Structure 1
Amino acid sequence: MTPSSQGVEYAQLRAFVEVAEQGGFSRAAERLGVTPSSLSQTIRALETRLGVRLFNRTTRSVALTPPGQALFNRLRPAMDEIGAAVEMASRAGGRVAGTVRVHAARVAAARRIEPMLAAFHAAHPDVVIDLTVDDAVVDIVAGGFDLAIRPGEVVEKDMIAVKLGGDHRQFPMATPDYLARHGRPAEPGDLTAHACIRWRWDGRSQPYDWEFCRDGAWFAVSVAGPLIVNDRRMMLDACLAGIGIAFLTNEEGAPHIAAGRLEPMLEPWCAAYPGFFLCYPRQRQMAPALRAFIDAVRAVEHDYTIPANKSW
């Protein structure tokens, strides 16, 4: 086999893995920097060379055939090893390079990633951070991500999980003006008589019920109100505008409480729970760019303690 044919074979196999991971040609082509039509031709050439169909294609979806799935299962770890080996060689030459694909919950992106971006880029100018920010719970491997930052309650059991910071607590919070006009709830059940700003996980049809704990037992309160959003920043902004009560974490609310813009409530019912975790698949050898990113995120620390409030 000539060097040129080896290069073509590698390009075809890399294209195959990318299409399989992305579940389609458009996004895979974008990641590879080629056109969808060119990528389709590459896959057809690979299928012709192997003498087997690797994908079932329809106008709406692309799915692996059984032979394609078998090839992907064997090929994906090998491609990861090749990428890691190339990056290790780069690091040996004093250069950390490559792309780190990250999926992060919105609050995690704002609190854990944004503060380190400038310093990280200055230290590692050849590393590209491909960041997807949303609150959906996605399959890290199937989505083609290297790692995710998400709440502990939705971390997959088969992932390496590294805790970032301390535990979280969620509190009902409102502006002093709202509480002056509508009163302060004395217990969680009183929230049903208030205007509450509700949040919905991406990909779910119903809003999140507010969870409280008393004497070690957790229970949920189904609240109602004038606004349902799937963006926690918008929920916070609506709360600051005095629209109603929002159920916010200590990370989201602490600076506004310290400034007197918000007041937390019902502290005895607001127990701690695991906060954010950085999670990634088990791997024998971690790429230098991924390790550098993980170290930078772990170095970001803040104090999000809720100030004491006697009116709770």
Structure 2
Amino acid sequence: MSADEAAALWFLVLEEGTPREANLFEEWLDQSEAHAAAWERVNAAWDCFDDAPGDEVTEVIRAAAMEVRPSARPIWPWIAVTSAAAVAGITLVTSGVLPLGPVSTGPSDVQQTASRAPLEELGEVDLETGIGERVTRQLPDGSTLHLDTDSAVDIALTPRRRLVRLVRGQAFFEVAADRTRPFSVSAGDSVVTALGTRFNVRKDATGFVVVLVKGVVEVEMGGAKRSRLRLSPGEQYVQRGETGAVSTADVEASEAWQDGFVEFDNVPLSEALVEMNRYDQRHLIVRDPEVAAYRVSGRFRTGDPLRFGRAISQIYPVRLVRQANGNMEVVRARP
């Protein structure tokens, strides 16, 4: 069969392929420039699919590519004996997308790992979410905890104190008023304390951010020089390493993730991709420094990197190229 025919079939194999198949694909791709060019053509055809219902494109490609595929043998030895109908099937469709699958946000998929008396002492993770999951929990004191994707908390509620340790990720807190028991959230060696308020805390490898929506919180910074400060509604405290500063916050953006969105305000594409990739197992990547520097603004749904990539391609001269591991690279569009 031709290189185009093989590329079309590989397109299907990699949808649900094994690591062995991915390795075989890489070997096939490296065999000749014709293979690489054919793979580019298949991706270019896929790039034009923008508006059709989710499974239509996949089904057309599958029907064409599988027309003469033997069903009794593994797919990889047979990659050299299929039909030109595979590529023809791709070009028959002029719009559509390949779905990345649903994102669960319900409590059924959330891991609650406490095995001791619930929520009485620190030491182990009590609640965590996987990639693409979000959950809301009401705590015994009446406070509400919203936990973002790939996040974990350790909770201790006693008659004298209320303490949550943000192990990783992001959480939004709606704190029930109780002047006898301050509500504190620790992120690394810093602590945010409130009586009755609404605020967001995020912790990642670079530091932590707290955004105050309502009420008053006190932030105690750790490190070599411990200090304290108070935030007013609409302010945020951002700490990176030993350096921290208070600034005006985008409150709406800090709450958007609870509704399944993220908001960007003139940030580099590379930074936007890092945030979008938090919500899905398959990632968008960018290697070209010029493309990575493109600025992004707007409100985008989480858990759908393909939709985000298509939106970016409507703004800038870029396109998406599918990788063997399921990721997609944002590259410059052809002249």
TM-score by length of 1: 0.27
Structure with the higher helix share, 1 or 2? 1
Bigger strand share:
2
